[in-house]
Amino acid sequence: MSSLCVEAKKTDVSSSKEGPDSDFQKHIVDAEVLITTPFHPGYLTRDLIEKAKNLKICITAGVGSDHIDLNAAVDHQIQVLEVSGSNVVSVAEHVIMSILLLVRNFVPAHEMIERGDWQVSDIARNAFDLEGKVVGTIGAGRIGYRVLQRLVPFDPKELLYYDYAPLPAAAAEKVKARRVEDLKDFVSQCDVVTVNCPLHEGTKGLVNDELLSHFKNGAWLVNTARGAICDKDAVARALKSGKLAGYSGDVWNVQPAPKDHVWRTMKNPLGGGNGMVPHYSGTTLDAQARYALGTKSILENYLTNKPQEPQNIIVGLGKYETKAF
């Protein structure tokens, strides 16, 4: 994925983003507009923002702007916008797929076929039905609620959610979801936990050793939100010990993930439980079309001094415009 820097009289597009000699760091000094994706982002630190004297607006071509130091953007009167809602269906579908591949022990089964083997009992001993399970989402916003909607036909025992704000009564009733206000109490009731909240100072490292100790033994955890919400080493330890039966997702604490990242190869005691993939849940071809159009609209509004869609604004001029961060 490339980053695009718009300077006063020219446009630079580059996938060179890491290090002081990268195109990104060279051109950010003069750029007025920065467009980057959340999948392989250009990380805009406070240090770089302070060097970017002409920067007026940062546009995330997708959803999730945690690759930008938002507090620094507020301090320097830099607007931050993203294409809100452009990937919500794509990510929600990926969450359901990830839950199923963990619960049904799919990955080890497929690996067995690739090896030319056929030992059904080795797979079936750790395969379960989703029906009758308690499934909960940390975050019940645009994505989290769609996950709950898609879980209803599986006839779970109960659907739970943990969120700072309760769902409207009609929305909660539609999916028969119950809010649990204490996070430790919430995870202790769930067979499956899925993370669908934004990354910010309050959620970084949220799923750590302490919280994992309150999970049910053998629970499954899915994270398609942001990798840094889950403590990398704590998750690996929990999976290795069997506290977690599986961990799946597409987000990593650093992207691209280093080749030796523990999440690439971690396993549960039975040799499975790993459903990790690159960060692509929100970048299906359908989602790409939506956020390309959305990015174009945001840029055109900026260049023609038209008002932006309120739901797309993360940081306005000198202040946050969203409750999500």
Please check whether residue 132 is in contact with residue 148, taking contact to mean a CB–CB distance below 8 angstroms: no
Gap between the Cα atoms of 121 and 101, Å rounded: 17
Q: In terms of Cα–Cα distance, which of 188, 247, 245 is closest to 218?
A: 245
Q: Does 279 participate in catalysis according to the annotation? A: yes
User: How many CB atoms neighbour CB 172 within 10 A?
Assistant: 18
Q: Which of 126, 226, 268, 312 is flagged as catalytic?
A: 226
The span from the CA of 183 to the CA of 189, in Å, is: 10
Catalytic residue among 94, 279, 290, 312: 279
Cα separation, 191 vs 186, whole angstroms: 11
Q: Which of 25, 79, 87, 126 is catalytic?
A: 87
Letter string b/e over residues 130-151, b meaning 16 or more CB atoms within 10 A of that residue's CB: beebbbbbbbbbbbbbbbbebb
CA distance 256 to 242: 27
The span from the CA of 175 to the CA of 308, in Å, is: 32
How buried is residue 238: exposed, middle or buried, by Cβ count under 10 Å (0-12/13-18/19+)?
Answer: buried
Q: Which of 105, 223, 255, 274 is catalytic?
A: 255
Residue 193: Cβ within 10 Å count? 27
What number of other Cβ atoms are within 10 A of residue 214's Cβ? Answer: 15
> Catalytic site residue 226?
yes
Catalytic residues: 87, 226, 255, 279
